[in-house]
Amino acid sequence: MRTIDNFNFANKKALIRVDFNVPLDSDFNVTDTSRIEAAKPTILKVLEDGGSAILMSHLGRPKGKVNADMSLAHISEKVSEIIGVQVKFVEDCVGTSAEQAAASLENGEILLLENLRFHAEEESGDESFAEKLSQLGDIYVNDAFGTAHRAHASTTIVAKFFPENKCFGYLLAKEIKAIEKVMQTGEKPVTAILGGAKVSSKITIIENILDKVDHLIIGGGMTYTFVKAQGGSVGDSICEDDKMDLALDILKQAEAKGVKVHLPVDVLAADDFDNDANTQFLSVNEIPEGWQGLDAGPQTLENFKEVILQSKTILWNGPVGVFEMENFSKGTIAVGNAIDEATQNGAFSLVGGGDSVAAVKQFGFQDKVSYVSTGGGAMLESLEGRTLPGIAAILD
């Protein structure tokens, strides 16, 4: 795997695809800087070698049209502050202004290009647009895992114009290694904790990881499809009736492969989908009409903790309750605490997927697990066993 460490950037311009698709408030202040911070080591390596960095990213979904609200100009001061170098900004990513700004860039300097998605050619993977981007730099560095599952001009197509001079940045290399550690080289026992609302969104992941894991913990809304499929009463809990046969098939496949599946045995149920609803702990397969399971119960959390503490490699994808409501967040927090303890005892833990990453940030677990993935969709497609186009383009 060719990484940024394979190159010396002295007197070279590095064209770096970063993922600066960061949230902004109504005054265009960056409300979460983690993606910028994640790109910092790659940018600094280029500058410390004696080169310059040209950063390209998208922001939001402008759909191929210029939209001032989604201009990367809004974030250039924040990028300067985090990297510790004043960033220059240019109001386009291709054409005369971008070419002139790139040509005049001196060693040790950083240039931030305007939003790639102001051009429809970015998302369509247009080759001539990719070629124009390629003319701005000497070495192409992809450090944007969050977009590695898209065959866009800046993430995939541009790489073909750098046959010998392309590599992964530190962040993308770390993402690849973290997923490999879970899916291929992880020390056993390997445990996957899958939560979230729907079985349908996790089918491909489950089918792909059954050959790799020893334990599969299922939590969150998915639980009730499995429970109802086995004849349990789930009341008004979220349930995909059309996926019950599939749930039974997953359990059969797991048994045939020697994978132990751990489902909740008790839940915190509520009489309304509301933080202030009436609640009671119930057996997971005896939830009456008018009640719905919104969090894991105490016995379930004890069972889950026992499995997690025995594990040497842990993947966490999806919360085990409606953690956005304080009264139904305790299960997700308990799982996070168990993973924290297992990690302190030497386990490797990877957290990925939008909701679980949001939970980890909300409850302060970022520094208590081994790795938190920065790419939601890209992470999920990796777990499904797909080769991501942005990764394949560098390996090619």
8 A C-beta contact, residue 288 and residue 319:
no
Name the binding residues for ATP: 202, 293, 324, 353-356
Residues β-bridged to residue 3: 168
Tell me the one-letter amino acid at 297.
G
Give 184's DSSP letter: I
Distance, CA of 11 to CA of 106 (rounded, Å): 8
- In 3D space, the residue among 33, 373, 396 whose CA is nearest the CA of residue 172 turns out to be 373
Output the DSSP codes for 92-145: -SSSHHHHHHHHTPPTT-EEEE--GGGSHHHHHT-HHHHHHHHTT-SEEEE--G
Name the binding residues for (2R)-3-phosphoglycerate: 35, 117, 150
Q: Catalytic residue positions?
A: 35, 198, 354, 377
> Order of strands, edge to edge, in the sheet holding 13-17?
87-90, 110-113, 52-56, 13-17, 139-142, 166-168
Residues β-bridged to residue 68: none
